[in-house]
Amino acid sequence: MESVYVAVLLLWALLFIYAVAGSIDFGTGFWAMYYSRQNHYKAATIANNFLSPAWKVTNVFLVLLVVAFVALFPGAAPTLGTLMIVPFCLVLLLLTIRSAFLVYAYSTKKYSRMLTLVSGLCGLFIPAILVSILPAAIGGFVVVAGDKQYILVNELFLSPAFYTHVGFGLVTQLFISALFMCDYAKEAGDESTASSYRKNAIFLGPVTLVFAVAAIFTLIPEAPWMFEKFLSLWHWYTLSLFAFALGYSALWWRSKTSHLGHPRAALLLIVVQFGLASIAYGSAHLPYLLYPNVTIYDAFTNETMFRYLLIGFLIGLAILVPVFLYFWRLFFKDKAYLQSDQHDYS
C-alpha cells in the first residue's frame, strides 16, 4: 500500500473513533437536556452519570485528528484552512461553552436546568457543523483568485446537499446515542428508562436511513463525479444496508432476561454499518481532499517525515486507545456508579 493511503487510513481511523465517541457524547448531552425538561429525572440522571466522566476525554481524538491532518497533509492546509476556519472556530466556541456549562451544571442546583439546556444544544450543533464541511469539499464552493481563496457562502447555503448532510449529522448522533443509552440504562438495571431510549432509537433509525439516502442523491447535481464512483462501490453500501437492517432488528430480538431486545448488539452493528458507509463515502471522494483543487498526492508530506509521524502516532494510539477503552469500561461496568443519583437534577 502506498504511503499516502496509509496516511489516509490513519486519518479515517481517528475520524471514525471521534465520530462514534462524539455522537455518543454529544447525543447523550442532548438526551440529558431533553429528559430534564420533560421531568423524566431517571433518564436524565443516567445520561448525566455517563456524561460526567466521558465528556472530558472524547475530544482528545479531535485534537489528534487535526494534528494528524496538518502533519500528514500540510499542502492542504492553505486551501482547506479557508474552508474550515469558520466551522472549526464555531466548534471550538461551542465546545468551550458546553464544557463550562457542564461543569457549572454539576456544581450548582439553582441554575442546573438552564445550564443543561445550553450545554445540550451546544453539543447537538457541534456534529452538524463538522459534517457541513463534507458537502463544502465536493467542489464548486471555493473560488481561487490568484493567491486567495473565497468561499461562496450563498451558494453553499442554497445547496440541498448541505442541508441533507447537516440533517444526517444531527439524526445520526441522536440515533447512536439513544442506542447507547438504552444499553447503558439496561446495564444499570433500569428497564423503564432503557425502554424510553429504545423508543427513541426505534423512531430515529428510519429517519437516519432517509437522511443518509438523501445525502447521497442530493450529490447528483452537485458532484456527479462522486456519484458515479458511488455506483462502482455498490457492494459497500449493500453491506452497510445489511448491517443497518440487522442492527435495527436487534431491538426486537428475543431475550430471556429482558423485553428490550439486544441493544448492545444493535449498537455494535450500527457502528459497523456506519464504518462501512464511511469507507464507501471516503473512497468515492478520493483522491480529492477538495475537488478539483487539492488531491491527497499534492498535499502529502515527504516520505521521511511520514515515517517519523507514523511511528509517533502509532505509539501514541497504542497507549491512548487501551487507556480510553479501560476508562470507558470502568464507568460502564461499575454497578454502584451506574445506579447512583449523584447527578440527579430533581
Provide the residue ranges of all domains of the chain, joining segments of one domain with +: 1-335
Q: Are 115 and 65 in contact (CB under 8 A)?
A: no
C-alpha 30: how far from its chain's center?
14
From the number of C-beta atoms within 10 Å of its C-beta (0-12, 13-18, 19+), residue 18 rates as: buried
Percent of the chain at pLDDT exceeding 70: 86
CA nearest to 117, candidates 32, 58, 22: 32
| C-alpha atoms less than 13 angstroms from C-alpha of 333 in its C-beta half-sphere | 6
The model's pLDDT over 264-295, given as tens digits with 9 standing for 90+, comes to: 899 999 999 999 999 999 888 888 888 877 88
**pTM score of the predicted model:** 0.87
* Cis omega (within 30 of 0) for bond into 292: yes
Q: What is the per-residue pLDDT across 308-344, written as a single tens digit (0 to 9) for each?
A: 888 888 888 788 778 777 777 776 666 555 555 544 4
Residue 39 Ramachandran class (φ > 0 left, ψ -120 to 50 alpha, else beta): left
Task: Give the chain's end-to-end CA distance (angstroms, integer).
Answer: 56
pLDDT per residue as tens digits for the range 19-39: 888 888 888 888 888 887 777
Q: How far is CA 34 from CA 38, 48, 94, 108, in A?
A: 6, 12, 18, 19
d(CA 44, CA 171): 19
Output the pLDDT for position 332: 66
CA distances, 97 to each of 10, 77, 150, 296 (Å):
30, 27, 29, 34
pLDDT in tens, 172-213: 999 999 999 998 888 877 788 889 999 999 999 999 999 999
SS3 at position 60: helix
Nearest CA among 69, 71, 68, 61 for reference residue 95? 61
Task: Give the other-Cβ count within 10 Å of 216's Cβ.
Answer: 20
Give the type of residue at 167: G
Q: Which residues of 124-146 are buried (b: 16+ CB within 10 A; e: fewer)?
A: bbbbbbbbbbbbbbbbebbeeee
CA angle 322–261–34, rounded 5-degree value:
75
